[in-house]
Structures are given as C-alpha cells and as structure tokens.
Structure 1
Amino acid sequence: MSAPQARNDDEVRRGGLSRRGFLVAAGAAGLVAGMAGPAWAAEPAAAGSIAPVWPGTAGGFPGFEVDTSAKIADLLAYVPEKDPDAKFWRSRVPLAARIPALTQAQAQPALDPRTRATNLSQVYMPLTSDQARYNPSDGTDYAVTTQHADKAAEFQYVRYGTSVNVYVPRFSQYQDIFSGWPASNESITCLPNPAYVDTAHRNGVIALGAIGNPYMSAGDPHGFLAQDESGRFVVGDKLVDLAAFFGFDGYFLNFEESVPVAQVAKIMAMFGAMKARASQLGLKTFHLQWYDSLGVDGNLSYQNALTAVNEGWLLDGHCDTIFLNYWWGQPEVDSSVTQAKKAGLDLLNSAFFGIEMEGGGWQGQPPVDPTGYWAKATAPVPANGSAPAKASVAMFDAVQDTVRWSRQQAADPSVPAIAAATYDYERRFWSGAAKNPAAPVPAGANFGAANFFAERSVIGSVPFVTRFGTGQGTAFYLNGDKVGDAPWFHAGIQDLLPTWQWWTKPYAGGNGSALTVDYDHTTAFTGGNSVTISGKLGPANGTEVRLYKTAISVGGSALTASLVYQANAGSLVSLGLTFQDRAGATEWLPLSGAVRENLGRWTRATVDLGRFANRTIAALSVGVHSRTGVHDCLVRLGELIIDAPGRCRPGPKPLGFALEKSAVNSARTAAQLRLTWELDNTVWYYDILRHHPGGGCTWLGRISADAYHVSAMPRVGQEKMTSLSLLPTDFHGVPGLEATLDFRW
C-alpha cells in the first residue's frame, strides 16, 4: 500500500455543532470501519503516517531506556506537553475507591479480604505467534526464536486496534496492583499501557510503570541518581512528572545489580524526594514497589523472604511494598512473619511472595499448566481461608502463560480455537477448576486465584451502569443496532465486568443443575458482547447467576433497577438483590411484572426499589427459571443499571472537537484522522461516528479521554465530504448532545 498523503488542517471545514438523531440505521454493507490504533512494528512509523508514536520511542524500541548516560539524557529532555503524540497515550480515568469487604457475601466467606495480589505482566498478548513452538509428539522440541521481541511487542504498545488475534484479560477484581512489564528490555522506564491503566483504575487497581537496571554511575550528570545544584534529583522528578501527566500511579523497581553501599542511601533519598514531589503535584496515589534483588548492603542478593537485608527499602527507603523473589517455601514465609513483627510491618500490606508463572514454557522449557503454581500460594495464604493468611502474593507473568499454555491446548491452531482455549483457561486460572469461585476445588484439581483472594468491587453508589463489555468484539452495537462490522479491541473501554465469573447456584432454593454462563460476541446491546445464560431448562433447574458485589445504599429516596435482556419462550427472568442485613439470602423481583420497554430485539424491564428503603444492596443477581417442561434456554443480558429516577437529561455538547491532522491513502478510499476535544469530567466515554450520505452511521471508536486516532475511515463511493460526530455518554449511561465536524476528501 502506498504511503498516505499528509494534509493540512486548513483543508478541513469545521462543521456546525447541530444535534443529530442519536442512532440511525447502520451504514452500507462493506463500508464499515472499526476502531484502529497504530500497529507497533518495533520501528518508527512509516513516512507520511500520522499514527501517534509511543512516548520515548527511540532506536527502534518504545519507551525510555535508562541503562546509559545518553538514554537518561533523552529521558530528561523529553517534555510530554511539547510532544504532539503524548496526549494520545494519557489515561484520564481516576482511580476508583473500593467498597468495604463483607465476608458473608463473599464466594469464599472464610477468605481474609486483607490479602492482596499484585500482577506484573505484559499486556495484549497475541493469541497466535511463531515466537515459540512446542512439539508435543516427543516433548522436546521447544525453541524461542530471534523474533521473540518483535512478536511479544506486536500489541504491547498499542492502546486499541482492529485485530481478533489478541488476548484482553477480564479479571481485575482479584488484583490490587498491576505493573506493566516491558516485552523484551529490562533496562527501561516502561510507561504502563494507558488502556490497562483505564480499566485498572475503573476497578480500583493501582497501575504502575516499570524501571529496570538504571545507569547509576556516581557523579555523572546524566546518571540515574544525578542531582542539580540545589540537590534536586532530576531523574526522580522526571519520573514523577511522567506518572502525573500520563495518569498512572508509580513504579515497579527492578534493580538487579550490585552498587557501592554509599549509593543505597542516595537511592533511598531519591525515592523520598519522588514521594515529596508526587505530594506537591497533588497525586493522591504514588506507589513504589521494590523487587527483592538489591539489598541495603549494596549487594545483589535475592532474599526470597523479608529479612534485615531488604526490609530497609520499606522502613527507610520510602517503598510501599516489596515483591519477594520466587525461591521460597513455608520456612521463608514463617521467618518473614517473625521479621515483620520485629520491624513493626504489616506483612499482608507490605510483602508479596512472588510466583514466577512466566517460568512455565520459557527459557527452553515446554509450557506447563500455570494453574499448578497456585499450590505454592498455600504457604502464605492457606486456600479457601482454611487458616489465617500470613502475607500477600505476586504473579509474574499470568498474561503470558495464559496464552502460551492455551496455544498448546487449543483444538487447532486457528485464532477462534486458541481464543476459546485462552478464555476457558483464564476462567480456571482466576475462578478455580470448576470455573465457579464459590465451588469447592475437586480432588486433585488445581486452585484458582479465587481460592486465595477475596473478590473486590468499586460499586458503592449510584449510578451503576454496565453493558458487560469485555473490551473487544467482532462488531460494535449502539442501543441494539449494529454500527460496525470490523473486529476491534480496547481494554480501556472494558465495562465493570461481573465480579464472579461465574458464581451459579440453584434458583430460589431449587436443587437442579446450573445453566451455563458465558460472554457472547455474536450480539450486544451496546459494545461488543452480551452475557448469555443457556442450557436445558425446566422447573427443577432454575439458576441464579450472582453477578456483582456492591454496597449500594437504597437510602430514603427511591432507586430503580433496569435490565436490558433477551429471553426465549418459557425462560423467565428475575432480578435478585442480596442485602447486607440478610447476606445469605436473595430477594427476587420477577421482571414479568416490571415496567417494560420494547427495544426491538431487546427488552428493558425497570423495577422500583423504593420498598427497600434504608437497606444496603450487597450483591446483584439474575435468576432464570421455568414453569413449563424442559426446553432449550437462551437468555442474553445487555445492560444493567441501578440509578435514581429523574437523572436522565442529556449533557452538553463537547467543546473544541477538531481534526488535528489527517492523511488520505493514495487510492483516496480511506483516511487516517487525529481527533481532539476538551475533556469533560462528567463524561464516561466518547464515541466517534461517521455519517453516511444516504443515512446511517459507522462507529469509529470509543475512549474515555480527549484524543483519538482513527487509522482507516473508509470513504463511501466518491463522497466529497464526510460528517463526523463526537457523542458523549455520561455516568448514568445517558448520551449527550453531539459535536460535529466535516472532513473534506
């Protein structure tokens, strides 16, 4: 394909900000563009491309490398406010507060909710890859090719894109800290992927970048520990400034090298100065997590426990937590408990015992089922709360091994087969062998994260709105209408997903077998997928699907609950509420008697919660049952809202909607666009739509930010002008007034 032709801003005529009908029929077949971002190829963008480049990209690798004086000089010279690409990589989603634990409503009530989990991981792993092949016929043919770095980085440094060949994780509810791990270079300051920062923050998860093996030559003005004439740590300040600008919460610190002992105090002083600068900048969270490598004596020494050699990073070094190295067992856990008491540290909050899940299928070894590693976690955290927890747990690298293992288990090497194996495995990894976090672990089966960590939630007030979106799809829907036929992925627009995937049990005291629950990417109400409940259903096997952990006070004012769903004949749907004052029971509201609205193939049922005044909802469920004979059940869930009535007025038009730059391909059949606008903090997300000459529209993308790059907006026939609109949606799920502009081909 020929290089695109760059165009000047003055070739675009700004359109009026008129209100359009919110949703019109989908565009002409074959003329649909999906959301697209830059496809990272470990090299600078091609000439003429206007795709935003990852911050700090230089020398063919994305990010700021910090292992030489020259590279640190580049880091210090970088000013994101002057980088025209930087705005495309900012996370603008604030860190949500998590609700208090209610152990009686947990899937595993005996688990200590104070036990925490950190996940040091790559992001957006490709489902298929030639980076590694394992031949199960003889169990020996395993090789990592020289292309590993490029393949691992294929999606690592994009925010969103149009491929189906990518894994988007779905289990933030068992994590407390997420650290982005660079694909192939450990001497790097790695900014976390903003899509993952968005979804982490939405779920109350702290998101960290990574700093590895910096150049710390004493006295070098461009060394990691360099200070200016006033004593200011210039690199430390820059690192804090990057976190403030790009919207993440601190750094994972991986210093796997020895240093002169005098430098240890200087490193600690620099970390203290970073904390002070974060406070000056008004950052509510700035977290430093130390990796158990460099000791306070200056020697590289993996302690594998909390000891006098590494505890100083917590006591005097201004680090919040420590990620302990992997070679530990029960003796190291027990000695850490003793050491923590001596030092006055809370081990559950400060020490994470690392599990090297990346070790399966890496460095010349064939892949192994990484869920087997969970057995190791029983030393700091006895499974299912069978004994008091002693410390917390860190994972490295759950995302990579989820995909690597699943590639070997797939029915065939196709993307659909590997995707099915990956998401099936992912559910076992997090929810346990039964793929139900409340179910006991079968004899001989491997544990899951849900056997060690209590589920977390941020749903503590209204409005609560979810469309169950996983952050990917093979099409895109708005209010039940398909407005995009292209595949897409964007973890940053993932909804708050069900807390339990999937906690099923008999409906209303029945004793029948549970129906099956899964995500369905063949149809959606809004987004790329719905949730399906399916199987053989009869009077004896109604199923409760417990969906969300909440702490929503009904208070003295009325709230309403609405569910958008589809149900085939004979399948009855009810909304279930569990209250804090009766955490062991579900109170059912049949939707057959609710206020119903016909939305085409979907139905919206709304129920008044006024009768529950002054009670607090601890969990939300959906029940499916039948009064007739056994039949095939198919129920789809498209949207769930808990809100107060009367809060549904459309918000104002976005301000400043503009085309910063465009590029049209040589055939003049598609255009790249760089779009910007003013961020409104009352907006949940923005959708970008293109309108067709004969009516209809095509979805181009969604983001919770103020800048978006469209990689391929198609031209309809020989149209001379394309009308674009920016549609905001507020936190009540209500679309606002659109801003528009016209693009001239």
Structure 2
Amino acid sequence: MTPTRRAVLFTGAATASAALLPLPSPAAAASGSPAGPGALPAATPPLASYWYPDSLPSGEPGEGITWRSLREWRAEGDADLAFNASTVPLAPRFTPAPVNTTARTGQARIQSLVSFGPTAGNPSQGSPTADYYALTHWAYLDELVFWGGSAGEGLILAPNAPVVDAAHRHGVRVLGNIFLPPVVYGGQLRWTRDLVRKDADGHCPLAERLVAVAAAYGFDGWFVNAETEGGDAALGADMLGFLTELKKLASARGQRVTWYDAMTVNGAVSWQGALNNRNEAFFEKADDMFVDFRWSPSSLASSAQLADRLERDRYALWAGVDVESSGWNHSVNWDAIVPATAPHVTSLGFYRPEWTRNHLPQGHTPADFHAADDRFWIGRSLDPAHPDTTDGWRAPALSVADRSTVSSLPFATTFNTGHGLRWYEEGRVTSETPWNHLGLQDRLPSRRWVVRTEGTRPQVAFDFEDAWRGGNSVLVSGALTAPVTLDLYATRLPLRGGAVVDLTYRDESGAAVGVELAVATVEPAAGAAPPYTYLPVRPRHHGRAGGGWRTVTVRLPGRSGTVHALGVRLSAADGTPVAWRLGALAVRQADRPERRPAPPTGLRVTAASEDALRLAWRPARGQVRQYTLHRVLPDGTRRFLGGTCQSAFHVAGPRPVEGERTARFEVRTVGEVYTASSPAHVRHTW
C-alpha cells in the first residue's frame, strides 16, 4: 500500500491511559461487600490491546500510549483480557437463493480492512457517543481485518470484543493485524526480525504467542502485512518459515492467516498487484492473500490462473479496492474482478470502507451514517432485489449473494444496530446518554431494504428517535397506495412441534395500518419473491405494551417443515401516509416456554477510582445473549449503565447522589429471547 493511504494511522495517540492492573481475587471484594477507593486498584478504562513484536522504540511513549512487548504477554497477566475476550462463537451461515439474478453464489467473497478507532485509546466496550462505524452489512462479508498500527504506538492489534461479537453473530471471521510499516512511517527492520526470530530449537516463539492471543481473545487469526523495506533473501526465508509455523499452529486452533502482497521471497518489499513467482510461496503457506491495489485486469487474470495451477481456490485472492478517500466515487474496473457476464475472477478486498462515516459532515446523525452505508453496500437503488445496473459503483449486493445465520430456534431480534442516541427498554427511555457497543448488535436483516409493492414505495430505515429495546427501531413511512411487503429475514428455521412469532410494533400515524406476518416455507427461485403466506396480526391478542407499543403473538401453520423467509405486509386505506415502527421479532417453540436465564454470580467490585469502577462476575449458566447493568438510586429508580457480552464491565462517572452513602449496582443475564434473570447485586461505599 502506498504511503499516502496510510497517513491517517499515524496522526498521534488517544488520551486514555491503559496501565496494566492485576485483578484482585473474589475474596478481595466479595459479592455484596462495600469497597472504598483506597482498598482497590484504580479503575482505569479497559482498552483494546496492541504490541510490538519484542523490542520497543527508543525514548518514551506519547501521552495515552503504553508500549508493550508481545514476547512478554501472558494471558494470566493481562488485566484487560476479561473486557476484551469475545464470548460469541462463530455462527454457522447458509446462502439462501439470491435476492436478485446478478448476485453469485460460490464465487467472489469480500474481505474488509476496517479501522474502528485509534491504535492507542480504543475502548474495549464501547463509548458514550452514537458517532461510530456501526457496520451492519455483515451478510456480504466473509472476513474482517481489525486494521491499525503505527510505529509510535504498536504494530500488532487484537480486535476488541464488541467487533468480534457482532461479526461472529453474523458468521463473519475477524482477524487481528500485524503491520510492519514502511520506513517513511517509522518502520524499523529490527521489528520484522523480532517477529520471525527462531529459538534454540528452531521454532518461532512469536508464532505460538500470536495463536495464543487469538485463542484467549476469541478471534479468528491474523493478517500479516510486512512492508518495512531493506530486507534480504535470508530475511525472506525467515519470514517464510515464520508464516509456515504460524499457519500450522493457527490451523490446529481453527484460526486463519492472510498474507498481504508486499514482501517478496527475496526479502524486499515490492508490491506486485498479482500472485506470481515472487510471492506465491507465501500464498501457499497462508489461507489467502490480499492483492495490492496495483493490480490490472491482466495481472488478476494471471493470478487466478496461477492459483488454479497451484490447486488453490482463486477466490482466496482478495483484489484490493482502496475506498478510504472517495468511497463509492472511486473508479474501479469491476469487470476485472466481478464481471457481469462471466465467472468472477477473484474475490474482493475493501480497504477502509468506514469512509461511509468518515466523509460525513460534523453533526451527522446515526441515520445519516446508515443511509451512506446502505448506498455503499446496496447501491444507488437502495433495494437489493432491484439493483441499479447502470450505477458506476458496483455495490456488493449486485455481485455477491448475501448470507444468513438465522437457522435455529429460538431466534429474536430488536433490530439493534449497536449504537443509539439513548437507550430504551420495553419502549421506555432508561438512559439519555448516546452510546455505541457493537457487541449488543442484533442479527440484522440481510436484505435491506427489499420492499415489494405495486404502489408507491415507502421509505424504510433504521430510526433512532424511538425503540422498543436498544437504540433504534425499523421505521416504515410514507403513503401506502397499495399493500407493501417488507422482506425481513432469509431463514432456515425448523417448525418441529410448531412455532409462534412475537411481533412488537407501534403505529404512530393513527392510520389504522393493517398488519400481516409474511411467512414462506418454500425456497424461492433466484431473484423471485418468496412464496409468502400472509397471517393476520390481530391487535386484540396483544401482550404488555409501553409507550404505544404492542406485542402480538402469531402461531405459524404446521408442525413440521422449515421457514425460509419472514417479513411483514402493511396496508392502509386510500393511500394514507403512515409511520409504522417495528421494534422486535421473536420466533420460538410454541410448546416450550422460555425460562428466565440464570443470574450471574460472584458479582464484585475489582477496582475503584473516584469516578470509575470495574465490576466482574462469573458467567451465568445456560444460554446467554448479553448482560445489562443498572444502578439503583435511593428512590428505587433503575438507571441503565450499559450492556456487554463479557463478564466484566467498566462503569465510568458514578457519583453519589444526595444522602447516598453506598451505591447499589445490578447485573442481569439476558436470554436469547430477551427474558431477563433476577439481578445480582453489589454495593460500593463512596
């Protein structure tokens, strides 16, 4: 990659410090016992981890930067590991019949290199702002690289837990990043030598350490990007040996390795823009390779042919497309990668698609971001069932079939995108603080937004002005001049023993919107509408409600078979304008009531400062979607503090209220269909 594309990574450090603190034993702060700041370590904010391979730079780190050696890392000494380790397993995914006739199955896949935050000072568990790259179009991604690193901060990045949890929920692998920067950006060849150094037994200790980090943190492998110039054939051979050992150890743990097209077998850095005899040895030792942006139609064609001769999958080559500076305005020779009238040549690698957020003006809203992100992934038509083939930006939805993980019961979603302007619980605001935390993101509709109607197409979008739970709902607005069917989920949900769907919605327009549940039990042909059966949603059978929301239960027909698609059909008399919100959807076994999950145990304060606490607990037994944390005020009011999939949480900014000597905190387990456990309690003395 050329230096100009890197500049954003080297602009300095964040302001937060990440001192390593030992976690006290449960006996040091037993559940329910008061603990003052003087009795515990300081509650520093947990941050995403980053390292140098071994030797550190000369001098002193900048403000907010902690220099660490990967060679010295041990899981038992990692004070932030409980905050950073993913708990969501990689979900199996399937490929439904494509929603259009242009998208292919079994051909090109997509890898994205994304910088979610700075190298130093990147929070482990979200932050109090809605302005975040809340990626939601996971259905088109195969692999995500947690991009970053700089010579002044650290070169090896472990993805933080929210990113991994959200990706895994959608079946997407996440790789950590190993970035050995060009000399012009401070790269030093000694760091490359540190990485590949062998011990007395001829092994590469850092290969083992990298695999141990990925296993402890719960992510899926490493992206190896060696771009520091000045190497020779001996270093090239050492790098090949290191990659061979890394791949062997990684494969044994179910991890993957991607090689970046930079260093060649003679040790020099020479970006090829192709798979050829100067880098094929590295490709053969890795799972796949990111082909540098210097590719041409002929070099990609020859790369694919060489992969065929090597008996490797040509779609294990990611043809790089740099969208960091211009996004969908970037000119790309799409027919060289994903031709419209011939088999795809290679796969596709996006560099920095978070442009969809970064290019927006100051003061943009979450809705502004999602509109831009939809434009990037879906294309100008904003409807993957009706792609605009004249659009110069050939969006992923036009070429690559979407995938889904909705294949088992129970399944539930509140359409939470992982950020919001406030937090809602059962239709009521329980926190006015803006927030982001991708780990709280639900499995989201993969085909946004497919709207089927013979009349005027209403607007459909994630909306952040009201929600049933989390930070947003789905808003359908506009005149309904004919019935409108909104595709929601491609599924493989079994109907064994019968099932029901709980639908939570709100009609704000007073238009008496007719609502039907759309259910397809047969797979459609590619590009065809699902063969829906429409089941009436009868308001008189609604459950508890808040703020005008209602929950209606609809029994699915039959006691066997498979649900292949779910949606809703809306209608209104005389083309009346509507504003209709969908807040939640759950599919569960009719004869198997969902039990409340078990509460967490051993809740304790593990660190305390005047304005922060660290809490930890033992994970609850059984199926856990996430945990929610509340503070109970002296008048009994519960104030939402946050949620997490981990068993540790950093509480920032707690202050005593008038007359309060001890603060009371609660943690609840949240199950798959959003049933909550009884609370675990802990008190903290001011």
| TM-score w.r.t. length of structure 2 | 0.86
Distance 1:458 1:10 in 2: 41
1:520–1:69 CA distance, 2 compared to 1 (3 A): closer
1:340–1:594 CA distance, 2 compared to 1 (3 A): farther
**What is residue 201 of structure 2 aligned with on the other side?**
230
1:279–1:167 CA distance, 2 compared to 1 (3 A): closer
1:114–1:444 CA distance, 2 compared to 1 (3 A): closer
CA positional deviation for 1:654: 1.1
Following superposition of structure 1 onto structure 2, how do residues 217-366 of structure 1 map, counting pairs within 5 Å? 223-256=194-227, 257=229, 259-278=231-250, 283=253, 285-315=254-284, 317=285, 319-348=286-315, 350-358=316-324, 360=325
**What is residue 495 of structure 1 aligned with on the other side?**
442
Following superposition of structure 1 onto structure 2, how do residues 549-560 of structure 1 map, counting pairs within 5 Å? 549-555=490-496, 557-560=497-500
The partner residue of 1:167 within 130, 133, 136 is: 133
1:185–1:402 CA distance, 2 compared to 1 (3 A): farther
1:113–1:544 CA distance, 2 compared to 1 (3 A): farther
**What is residue 414 of structure 1 aligned with on the other side?**
363
SS in 1 for 2:372: helix
| Native 8 Å contact 1:254 1:291 kept in 2 | yes
Render the CA deviation track for 1:214-247: whole Å, top value 9, x for unaligned.
Answer: 89979x9982222223333111111111111111
Following superposition of structure 1 onto structure 2, how do residues 414-493 of structure 1 map, counting pairs within 5 Å? 414-416=363-365, 419-441=366-388, 443-493=390-440
Letter in 2 for 1:470: T
Moved more, 331-340 or 173-182: 331-340
Render the CA deviation track for 1:329-369: whole Å, top value 9, x for unaligned.
Answer: 32122212321222112102x111000112x2xxxxxxx3x
| Native 8 Å contact 2:42 2:607 kept in 1 | no
Distance 1:733 1:330 in 2: 50
CA positional deviation for 1:715: 2.9
Matched, 1:514 2:457: yes
**What is residue 117 of structure 1 aligned with on the other side?**
110
| Native 8 Å contact 1:700 1:713 kept in 2 | no
The partner residue of 2:672 within 719, 724, 731 is: 731
CA positional deviation for 1:73: 8.2
1:657–1:597 CA distance, 2 compared to 1 (3 A): same
Percentage of matched positions with identical amino acids: 27
Matched, 1:657 2:657: no
Render the CA deviation track for 1:679-729: whole Å, top value 9, x for unaligned.
Answer: 236211000111122222011110011111011224332212222111101
Distance 1:541 1:81 in 2: 62
| Native 8 Å contact 1:122 1:156 kept in 2 | no
Letter in 1 for 2:458: L
Letter in 1 for 2:415: F
SS in 2 for 1:677: strand
Letter in 2 for 1:489: N
1:330–1:222 CA distance, 2 compared to 1 (3 A): closer
1:77–1:581 CA distance, 2 compared to 1 (3 A): closer
SS in 2 for 1:430: helix
Letter in 2 for 1:65: Y
CA positional deviation for 1:91: 1.4
**What is residue 578 of structure 1 aligned with on the other side?**
520
**What is residue 527 of structure 1 aligned with on the other side?**
470
**What is residue 38 of structure 2 aligned with on the other side?**
none
| Native 8 Å contact 1:581 1:615 kept in 2 | no
Distance 1:450 1:594 in 2: 39
Matched, 1:402 2:356: yes
Moved more, 238-247 or 370-379: 370-379
| Native 8 Å contact 2:48 2:160 kept in 1 | no
1:487–1:716 CA distance, 2 compared to 1 (3 A): same
Letter in 1 for 2:594: C
Letter in 2 for 1:406: L
Distance 2:392 2:380 in 1: 6
**What is residue 102 of structure 1 aligned with on the other side?**
96
Matched, 1:641 2:586: yes
**What is residue 632 of structure 1 aligned with on the other side?**
577
Matched, 1:64 2:51: yes
CA positional deviation for 1:442: 6.0
Moved more, 305-314 or 266-275: 266-275
CA positional deviation for 1:466: 0.5
Distance 1:442 1:462 in 2: 37
CA positional deviation for 1:542: 2.0
Distance 2:492 2:441 in 1: 21
| Native 8 Å contact 2:265 2:279 kept in 1 | yes
CA positional deviation for 1:455: 0.9
| Native 8 Å contact 1:571 1:634 kept in 2 | no
Distance 2:582 2:151 in 1: 42
1:206–1:692 CA distance, 2 compared to 1 (3 A): same
**What is residue 347 of structure 2 aligned with on the other side?**
392
**What is residue 6 of structure 2 aligned with on the other side?**
none
What are structure 1's unaligned runs of at least 5 residues?
17-47, 57-62, 125-151, 361-367, 408-412, 665-670
SS in 1 for 2:601: coil
CA positional deviation for 1:659: 0.9
Distance 2:384 2:314 in 1: 25
Distance 2:342 2:628 in 1: 49
CA positional deviation for 1:248: 1.0
Distance 1:269 1:711 in 2: 46
Distance 2:281 2:371 in 1: 42
CA RMSD between the two structures: 2.9
SS in 2 for 1:726: strand
Following superposition of structure 1 onto structure 2, how do residues 131-170 of structure 1 map, counting pairs within 5 Å? 156-170=122-136
Letter in 2 for 1:331: S
Letter in 1 for 2:427: G
1:581–1:433 CA distance, 2 compared to 1 (3 A): closer
1:335–1:250 CA distance, 2 compared to 1 (3 A): same
Matched, 1:373 2:330: yes
Render the CA deviation track for 1:115-160: whole Å, top value 9, x for unaligned.
Answer: 2100011015xxxxxxxxxxxxxxxxxxxxxxxxxxx568744531
Higher relative contact order (CA 8 A, sep 6+): 1
1:441–1:582 CA distance, 2 compared to 1 (3 A): closer
SS in 1 for 2:433: coil
Render the CA deviation track for 1:560-581: whole Å, top value 9, x for unaligned.
Answer: 1111111243211111122334
| Native 8 Å contact 1:258 1:299 kept in 2 | yes
| Native 8 Å contact 1:250 1:286 kept in 2 | yes
Matched, 1:208 2:155: no
Moved more, 177-186 or 468-477: 177-186
Render the CA deviation track for 1:541-591: whole Å, top value 9, x for unaligned.
Answer: 221111112111223x11111111112432111111223345542221121
| Native 8 Å contact 2:477 2:579 kept in 1 | yes
